[in-house]
Structure 1
Amino acid sequence: MLATTPPFRFLVLVLSVCLAAAMVPASAQSLFTSSDGVSAETAPEVGSAIDTLVDIIKDDAARAELIERLEGLQAEEQAASGPEAATQSADSSLVRSVAEATTGMVQGAYASVQQVWRDLRGIETLFATLPDEKRRRMNENALPLLGTIVATVLVFWLASFILARLIQPQKWIRAKTRAVRATLTVLINLLADGLALAIAYAAGNVIAITAFGGGLITVEQSLYLNAFLVAGAVGIVIRLFVRPRRPDHALLNLSQPVQATAYRWLSLIAGLLVYGLTVAVPIANLWTTFLFGRSLRLIVVTLAAGLAIFAIRQVSRMIREDALAQPAEGTPPQEPADAEAGDRIPLWQKLWPPLAYFYVAVCYVIAVVYPALMGDLIGGATVRTVIAGALVALAFRFIGTPARARIAAPAWLEHSLPGFGGKLNVFMPLIFRIVAVFVVLAAMIYVLDAWRAIDVESLLGRDQALDLSGRFMSAILIIAGVLVVWALVVSWIDNRLTLDLPGKNVTARTRTLLSLFKNAFSVVAVVFGSMMALSQLGIDIAPLLAGAGVIGLAIGFGAQKLVQDIITGIFIQLENAINEGDVVTVAGTTGAVEKLTIRSVGVRDLNGVYHIVPFSAVDTVSNFMKRFAYHVAEIGVAYKEHVPAVKEAMEEAFERLKATEHGASISGPFEMQGVVALADSSVNIRARIKTRPGQQWAVGRAYTEIVKGVFDEKGIEIPYPHRVYVRPPEEPQPATIEKQPAGKVTETED
């Protein structure tokens, strides 16, 4: 049992190692003697040592003493040399790593320079004497190759010219939005260019077989035709981004001179790389030597990199000049200051030149140092980068035209709910920008994965990626569904609020409740839509709900006025105290209610001033619009007038009022209350007229005007405030001074 335990096995291993280490000097010394002597001398010693070790292990006391001594020796050794050895090991490891990295960089750079120099020296082999076999092959295949080149180019130009005349998408595309028209135009042009390329490639193969090959295609012709197909495909991709003759049909929204320059440089560089690396270099290997082919490859790559750097600089300068030449909206064109000029240049125009320079540098280093990776890494990564660039360009087009994005609702729906399309179109700019941002992020991840900066497949397995994409689609569909439902409900409410048909007029109470329901439904739609979308994305919404409860509790304690506003508003609505359109007095302010929420009321007074009154400040609500109203007419007449005659005149004025258009607003008989006051200069007589709610002011104004006319007809005086100064009779008259003609002044008395 003891022999199978891990501590015992470890002890046996340590003892065996120590025994072997002790035997090393003897065995090393015996190496210089005969091997027979070694075996004869050491065999008894080994057997004796093993017997001694077995005896110690069998004896418990001896074994314990041995273990204690070994542990003591190990502890002393660690205490003496442990920290210093660890420090020296760490220091030496760090220094060694830095030295190895530096040495590797220097050696790699030196090897790269040597490789480039060897490739350049391969040009010397061109002047060497070529074998007769290669000379004969060059003479036999040069003319068929030249004929194939001329034939394919002519067929391609002719096919492109004919298809450009036959297919003109701008004449028959009738899309309503500019972005959709541009996208359809780009796709149709892509198909036309692809058809022309396919026709030219097929014609080139037929001509190569029949006219120049005698039924066979040479290697040189095959290389050229494949390169022609690749170069044509690259040209089609270039024309997706820039199209000099039709700038509005390109993905990049650039001016015509910029597109022409960019197209010229891109076509030149792409043709140089495609035909140089896939035609010229292989043919040079076939016709001359492999060393000359490597030299030619280096020359082609270097020339293409230099042209690319020059092209990037020229195109970026032209784009910058175009941006500076466009004056800011509302300002005349002028020379802008440096700070203003920098602000007017879009962000992407500042970022793309450094990224392009970096791309050219990376491609050049890989092509020179690791030419075997050109097709796998540079080719595949470049294609994926171009695809990502197309997506980003399309996203920027949508970002630039969100204000013109519109959704046309069906005619029957617009007839039933006229505001449905407008409600949805409010969110279209935001939706376009969000989609564009997601497209840009996806393109960035796609490019990083293409250049092996990150490995998406290792970070996200296929099942996880599919699950994540499904979750995103579900979240997007939920948000879209919530927006559609919200637009339908709000459009229906607005349609009911504006409905003005015979027998279907909306009451003030209904209008108020619908307005409150619209606000509440909007909040509920935002909250529940967000929660459902987050839940689909895999986010646990339980902590969010708990956090919302805590926040609500904190708001309840910290914002007691807000809570009081809401509670008071709820009770005001339950009691139907205020409705939209009512004339009320709240918090000392009288006016018409224009807006009513759950926590405040908006009132516009007689002077047109708009007041927002929180319900926490409302102690009393005075509503002038409940069930019925009264116009109180209190009219003062002179003391000399006969009161019964005045009453008859007021009743006559009421009868005349009933005969006007205001008669429909009168809902009760004339209520004469009689004399209510003997004022300083008038006798005040009061009467009331019962009217429909809200009509008391119009009826009162009309009645007052009629009363004035009746009083004038009957000679009833309406007094006005005045005072009579009565002088005491014994008071002497004041003296007057009159001016005499001779300049004398005389004093007279009245």
Structure 2
Amino acid sequence: MWSVAQSPAWVESFWAWFWGVPAHIVTILVVSIITLALLRRLIKTTTERIIRGTRKAEALARRELPDALVRPEMFNNPRREQRARTVATVLRSAATLTVVTIATLMILDRIGVNIAPLVASAGIAGVALGFGAQTLVKDFLSGIFLLLEDQFGVGDTVYIGDVTGTVESVALRVTRIRDADGVMWTLRNGEILKVGNQTQGWSRASVPVRVAFDCDMGQLHDALLAAADRIRHDEVLADSLQGEPTVGGIEAMTSQSLTVRVSVRTDSNRMADVTAALRDAVRGEIEKRSIPLAPDVPKGLLS
């Protein structure tokens, strides 16, 4: 019967050679591939779990809370999925780079290459690259923190420097905003130092009214409350309100005019609609009561 001992000399030489360096290289490659696959699987599973978390929260809220308190916009949050997928992309890239780098160095070491100078050169090259691409690195790091901290997301109305508009996309390097004139602004994330978000959480719909200096303030107060009450009973907008409307005192005064503001807290995604409806209701109540506007404002026009 044939056995290894009876095999030709070249076969024994081959196996002796193979179980040396080649076997170690194959083992490194197999372990690296398995490790990378497991890391990618873990990242994918975690990402999907985060995305599904919103659906579970919605189901729980619908089971525990009255229907009147559960609104679709409480859970329809596309930025959550965007953040999860973007961070997952960064983690996958980092995992791939780390595993490939370690595997390459281990293989080079097994075939007899002195990796000490290579590691030192890589460190120097990394420092040089860091200095040369520090702006790019800054943009990417800023983009990661913008997403993790949820400073703004797609669909938000934001104020960034001298740019005001609606966020259309948030990437790791740049953010794109479209203003009221339809102009698309592309901002590097590293240059975003201060952000004003008008549509995150809740907003306040307010209408300032400039009236004549000798206006009856009691009559004006009643008119503004009546206008706000019309919004509270509106079948479309009533569910968007988050509190009682308020009429402030005199916030500005000149020799010919007084300015009073009516406001109401509302859902962020309905702020524009509530403001427009409130403005129209105020106009109607003022005209119905013949309240005189400020002399420098045309009749029926609010500031």
- TM-score normalized with structure 1 length: 0.30
User: Could you tell me which residue of structure 1 aligns to residue 61 of structure 2?
Assistant: none
User: Could you tell me which residue of structure 1 aligns to residue 244 of structure 2?
Assistant: 669
Matched residue type, 1:521 = L
Structure 1 contact 516–596 (Cα < 8 Å) conserved: no
Per-residue CA deviation, residues 386-424 of structure 1 (Å, 9 max, x unaligned), is xxxxxxxxxxxxxxxxxxxxxxxxxxxxxxxxxxxxxxx
Structure 1 contact 565–614 (Cα < 8 Å) conserved: yes
User: Could you tell me which residue of structure 1 aligns to residue 194 of structure 2?
Assistant: 620
Percent of residue pairs identical? 22
Matched residue type, 1:522 = R
Matched residue type, 2:218 = P
User: Could you tell me which residue of structure 2 aligns to residue 519 of structure 1?
Assistant: 89
Deviation at 1:684, TM superposition (A): 3.7
Identify which of 489, 501, 505 aligns with 2:43: 489
Structure 1's 562 and 591: CA in aligned 2 closer, same or farther, altered over 3 A? same
| Cα distance in structure 2, aligned partners of 1:548 and 1:692 | 53
Could you say which structure has the greater relative contact order, defined with CA pairs below 8 angstroms and 6 or more residues apart?
A: 2
User: Could you tell me which residue of structure 2 aligns to residue 471 of structure 1?
Assistant: 25
SS at match of 1:578: coil
| Cα distance in structure 1, aligned partners of 2:248 and 2:278 | 16
| Cα distance in structure 2, aligned partners of 1:515 and 1:494 | 9
| Cα distance in structure 2, aligned partners of 1:502 and 1:608 | 38
User: Could you tell me which residue of structure 2 aligns to residue 653 of structure 1?
Assistant: 227
Deviation at 1:530, TM superposition (A): 1.2
Per-residue CA deviation, residues 536-572 of structure 1 (Å, 9 max, x unaligned), is 6445666555444323311333334345445656776
Identify which of 515, 520, 529 aligns with 2:99: 529
Structure 2 contact 152–200 (Cα < 8 Å) conserved: no
Structure 1 contact 670–688 (Cα < 8 Å) conserved: yes
| Cα distance in structure 2, aligned partners of 1:571 and 1:609 | 26
Per-residue CA deviation, residues 622-679 of structure 1 (Å, 9 max, x unaligned), is 2224554322211245678644323212111111212234333333332222444467
| Cα distance in structure 2, aligned partners of 1:494 and 1:705 | 45
1:578 lines up with 2:136 in the alignment: no
Identify which of 274, 279, 291 aligns with 1:699: 274
SS at match of 1:650: helix
Matched residue type, 2:57 = G
Structure 1 contact 577–623 (Cα < 8 Å) conserved: no
| Cα distance in structure 2, aligned partners of 1:475 and 1:577 | 39
1:559 lines up with 2:112 in the alignment: no
Where does 1:92-491 land on structure 2 (aligned, <5 Å)? 461-465=14-18, 468=22, 471-472=25-26, 475=29, 478-479=32-33, 482-483=36-37, 485-487=39-41, 489-490=43-44
Per-residue CA deviation, residues 475-525 of structure 1 (Å, 9 max, x unaligned), is 256336524642552365256337652634486885575345313312222
SS at match of 1:668: coil
| Cα distance in structure 2, aligned partners of 1:536 and 1:619 | 42
User: Could you tell me which residue of structure 2 aligns to residue 503 of structure 1?
Assistant: 57
Unaligned runs of 5+ in 1: 1-456, 723-750
Structure 1's 611 and 548: CA in aligned 2 closer, same or farther, altered over 3 A? farther
| Cα distance in structure 2, aligned partners of 1:515 and 1:616 | 21
| Cα distance in structure 2, aligned partners of 1:607 and 1:479 | 51
Matched residue type, 1:651 = L
Matched residue type, 1:464 = W
Structure 1's 655 and 502: CA in aligned 2 closer, same or farther, altered over 3 A? farther
Structure 1's 469 and 606: CA in aligned 2 closer, same or farther, altered over 3 A? farther
Structure 1's 485 and 613: CA in aligned 2 closer, same or farther, altered over 3 A? same
Per-residue CA deviation, residues 79-132 of structure 1 (Å, 9 max, x unaligned), is xxxxxxxxxxxxxxxxxxxxxxxxxxxxxxxxxxxxxxxxxxxxxxxxxxxxxx
User: Could you tell me which residue of structure 1 aligns to residue 164 of structure 2?
Assistant: 590
Structure 1's 554 and 532: CA in aligned 2 closer, same or farther, altered over 3 A? closer
SS at match of 2:262: strand
Structure 1 contact 565–599 (Cα < 8 Å) conserved: yes
Matched residue type, 1:633 = V
Unaligned runs of 5+ in 2: 1-9, 59-74
Structure 1's 706 and 522: CA in aligned 2 closer, same or farther, altered over 3 A? same
Q: Normalized per residue, which structure has more helix? A: 1
Per-residue CA deviation, residues 183-209 of structure 1 (Å, 9 max, x unaligned), is xxxxxxxxxxxxxxxxxxxxxxxxxxx
Structure 2 contact 241–266 (Cα < 8 Å) conserved: yes
Matched residue type, 1:479 = I
Matched residue type, 2:240 = S
| Cα distance in structure 2, aligned partners of 1:556 and 1:532 | 20
Matched residue type, 2:44 = V
Per-residue CA deviation, residues 39-69 of structure 1 (Å, 9 max, x unaligned), is xxxxxxxxxxxxxxxxxxxxxxxxxxxxxxx
Structure 2 contact 43–92 (Cα < 8 Å) conserved: no
Structure 1's 523 and 640: CA in aligned 2 closer, same or farther, altered over 3 A? same
Identify which of 546, 549, 572 aligns with 2:123: 549
| Cα distance in structure 1, aligned partners of 2:88 and 2:200 | 25
Per-residue CA deviation, residues 258-311 of structure 1 (Å, 9 max, x unaligned), is xxxxxxxxxxxxxxxxxxxxxxxxxxxxxxxxxxxxxxxxxxxxxxxxxxxxxx
Per-residue CA deviation, residues 582-604 of structure 1 (Å, 9 max, x unaligned), is 43222322234455456544434
| Cα distance in structure 2, aligned partners of 1:604 and 1:659 | 34
- The alignment covers a number of residue pairs equal to 264
Structure 1 contact 479–533 (Cα < 8 Å) conserved: no
Structure 1's 511 and 591: CA in aligned 2 closer, same or farther, altered over 3 A? farther
- TM-score normalized with structure 2 length: 0.64
Structure 1's 664 and 643: CA in aligned 2 closer, same or farther, altered over 3 A? same
